[in-house]
Structure formats: C-alpha cells, structure tokens
Structure 1
Amino acid sequence: MALFEAEMRLTGQLLPGERILWAGQPKQGIVFTRGDIYTTFFFLLWGGIPAFGLFSLPSDGPALFNLVAAPFIIIAVYMLVGRYFYDAWSRKLTFYAVTDRRVLMWNERGKGRFVALDRAHIGAVTLDGNREQGTILFGPEKEGLKFLGIANAGEVFDLVQRPLPAGR
C-alpha cells in the first residue's frame, strides 16, 4: 500500500519517459533516536524549574513570574512530547523514489516541497544503519537529501549505485 501510494504521489513529478524503479516512505510512527536522551534531560530541567516555581509559589504570588514561566513550560512540553507527534506527521506526508534518472523526495507539509537530484551528478551516497532499516544520505551530510529510516535500505542503496542506462 505505501509503495503504491508513494508511486502515485510522485508520478506527477516525473520527466517524460522517466520511470520509477523504487518508491517508499520513511519509517512511520513515533521514532526515538540516541540524541533524544540528552534532549529529554535538558528540557525536563528547562521546564521543570519554572514549573516547580510556578506550583510551589502561593497562588497570590507575583503575576510576572507566571508570565515568564509559561513560555518555558510550553516549549518544554513541545520538546518533550509534541515534537515526536510533529515528526511522525511529517514523515507520514513524505514520499521517496529512485527513477532511472533521478532521486526524488516529495513532502506534502504546508505548500509542499519537492527535491530532485540527477543520479549522474549525485556525489557521495552513504548508508547509515543496516541494510534492513537505514538512512541513505545523498551528497554532503548537512546539505544533501536524506531517505530517512527506509525499509530495505541496502537494496535501495545498491539500486542508486548501479550505473545509469546508456544515453541518460
């Protein structure tokens, strides 16, 4: 189903005569990474200290403290919980494809974002993770396109590495 949906979403972005060799989506649902442990501790402190002060002060305490503490607590709640739901929603709206000419990414968030890289000029291609579930990076790590958390990452990596058909 996800393969068919990804192909349908990206078909309108193809060049004349171009064909999809692989299509997919990032891993779905809430995903935790190694760096989340540090972010969690930081934002527990970020929001915990003002929350402690807010709830330990008498209810007739200084109103200014309430106004200053509220943004810290709101940001902490987003960073502790909300960002995972936003990330899952964003990945649900992201579709990837490898064609006989290009590597494509389409994200339907907001007005949409389409990225296409010519396979002949793609530069470095890196596989992070394992061949069953991983991330493929195209080009420089900070600037390039990423296929985040895709299934069968090794097969897609091998497909991208194959020489282009003659005349392309």
Structure 2
Amino acid sequence: MDDPRSRILPLLRQGERLLWVGQPDPRVRFTGADALLVPFSILWGGFAAFWEFMVVTTAKEPFFMLWGIPFVLVGL
C-alpha cells in the first residue's frame, strides 16, 4: 500500500514532526463567501495592475509607482 506517511517521514529533519497526512475534501470547492470575494479580488487586482501599468508607462513618478505596489500585492 502507498502510505503517504512512509514517504514523508524519511525526509523530515531532526526535530521536525508530521502534523497532518491526508487530502482536502474534493467536494468543497467554493463557499458562500467566495461569491463576493472572487469577483472583488479580480476587480481589485485588475485595477491595481492597470494602475501600475499606466504609471510605469506614462507618469514616470516614483511616488505613484511605489504607491501602487501594495495594492498589487493585496490583489495577488
């Protein structure tokens, strides 16, 4: 039998321990909150990427370039 525990245990370093073995429930894909979060994150990330693209290609202002980076990271 192909036990995941037997494949992982030899790879652990001294002092490390295995906390969980298994797979996530394949039936759970989205939750109710995802109905709001997915479209919001697409809009947020899209706008942030658009902002950065426009600032880098037209404005050449370092402040605005730096200002957009956290918004892009949140969008990711």
Calculate the TM-score normalised by the size of structure 1: 0.27
State the secondary structure of the residue aligned to 1:31. Answer: coil
User: C-alpha distance in 2, partners of 1:30/1:73?
Assistant: 28
Higher helix proportion: 2
User: C-alpha distance in 2, partners of 1:51/1:26?
Assistant: 32
**Number of equivalences:** 57
* RMSD, matched Cα: 3.2
Whether 1:74 and 2:73 are equivalent positions in the alignment is: yes
> Percent same amino acid among aligned pairs?
33
The 3 A distance-change label for structure 1 pair 33 and 63 is: same
Contact between 2:45 and 2:75, CA under 8 Å: does it hold in 1?
yes
State the secondary structure of the residue aligned to 1:27. Answer: coil
Whether 1:55 and 2:45 are equivalent positions in the alignment is: no
33, 36, 40: which one aligns with 2:34: 36
User: C-alpha distance in 1, partners of 2:28/2:60?
Assistant: 39
Could you say which residue in structure 1 is the equivalent of 2:44?
46
Displacement of 1:38 = 1.0
Q: Which runs of 4+ in 1 moved over 6 A?
A: none
User: C-alpha distance in 2, partners of 1:29/1:68?
Assistant: 40
Could you say which residue in structure 1 is the equivalent of 2:10?
none
Q: Structure 2, unaligned stretches of length 5 or more?
A: 6-17
User: C-alpha distance in 2, partners of 1:35/1:54?
Assistant: 28
User: C-alpha distance in 2, partners of 1:54/1:30?
Assistant: 35
User: C-alpha distance in 1, partners of 2:27/2:62?
Assistant: 40
Greater relative contact order structure (CA < 8 Å, 6+ sep) = 2
Higher strand proportion: 1
The 3 A distance-change label for structure 1 pair 54 and 34 is: same
- Counterpart residue identity of residue 35, structure 1: A
1:79-118 alignment, distance < 5 Å: none
Q: Structure 1, unaligned stretches of length 5 or more?
A: 10-23, 78-168
